């Protein structure tokens, strides 16, 4: 933008200097003619034709500048259009990438959910197996307790039987001793 402004100011300077240079380069122009008052009538038409030539040249320059500006505008517009097309393509690519990322994320999430469900099922199965093992161990412990209680009861019963037999034997001995004494 700065270059364009600089170029425009240079062009404006040329618009003013060029006519002066053209007038100065004409063979009919001389410093004497400027300062002398002779033949004013002859100089006026020559000056008018020089001014007309300068005006024509200035008009031509303006037209060429306008054409150049139009070309620059067309080029600039085409560049802008190209940039817009590239931006749209980039946006489309980004959208597609986002969609692919979303799909991948959904797949990952669904796989994670499946893994979690499998883990939960395995945990439930292992918990059930542990419960079954605990129940079996409890049943075995109960059976062992029942057996040990039964054995203890048998031992106690046997001891009582032995004690009763011992007692009966003692009673029988005591009774025999008493009978023997009585006799």
Task: Read off the pLDDT of residues 124-180 as tens digits, 9 standing for 90 and up.
Answer: 888 888 888 888 888 888 888 888 888 887 777 777 666 666 666 666 676 667 666
Check pLDDT > 60 for residue 45.
no
Check pLDDT > 70 for residue 4.
no
Q: Stretch 70-80: mean pLDDT, rounded? A: 82
Measured torsion, CA atoms of residues 110, 114, 117, 118, in degrees rounded to the nearest 10 = -170
Q: Stretch 108-127: mean pLDDT, rounded? A: 86
Coil, strand or helix: which one is 89?
helix
Q: Report the distance separating Cα 12 and Cα 6, nearest Å.
A: 10
- More confident site: 79 or 49: 79
pLDDT at site 142: 85
**C-alpha of 51 from chain center:** 70
Contact yes or no for 50/96 (Cβ under 8 A): no
Measured torsion, CA atoms of residues 149, 151, 157, 163, in degrees rounded to the nearest 10 = -120
Coil, strand or helix: which one is 15?
helix
Report the 10 Å Cβ neighbour count for 90: 10
Q: Stretch 38-57: mean pLDDT, rounded? A: 61
Q: Stretch 14-43: mean pLDDT, rounded? A: 63
Nearest 5°: the CA angle 87, 88, 90 is: 60
pLDDT at site 46: 54
Q: Report the distance separating Cα 78 and Cα 22, nearest Å.
A: 38
**Band of the pLDDT at 41, cuts 50, 70, 90?**
very low
- More confident site: 81 or 46: 81
């Amino acid at each position: 933008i700065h270059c364009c402004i600089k170029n425009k100011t240079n062009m404006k300077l040329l618009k003013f200097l060029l006519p002066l240079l053209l007038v100065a380069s004409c063979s009919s122009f001389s410093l004497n003619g400027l300062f002398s008052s002779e033949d004013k009538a002859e100089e006026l038409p020559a000056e008018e034709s020089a001014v007309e030539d300068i005006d024509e040249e200035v008009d031509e320059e303006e037209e060429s500048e306008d054409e150049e500006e139009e070309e620059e505008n067309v080029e600039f517009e085409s560049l802008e259009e190209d940039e817009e097309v590239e931006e749209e393509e980039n946006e489309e690519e980004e959208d597609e990438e986002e969609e692919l990322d979303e799909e991948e994320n959904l797949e990952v999430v669904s796989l994670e959910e499946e893994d979690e469900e499998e883990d939960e099922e395995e945990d439930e199965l292992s918990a059930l197996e542990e419960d079954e093992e605990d129940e079996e161990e409890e049943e075995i412990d109960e059976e062992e307790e029942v057996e040990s209680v039964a054995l203890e009861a048998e031992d106690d019963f046997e001891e009582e039987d032995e004690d009763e037999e011992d007692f009966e034997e003692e009673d029988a001995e005591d009774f025999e001793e008493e009978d023997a004494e009585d006799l």
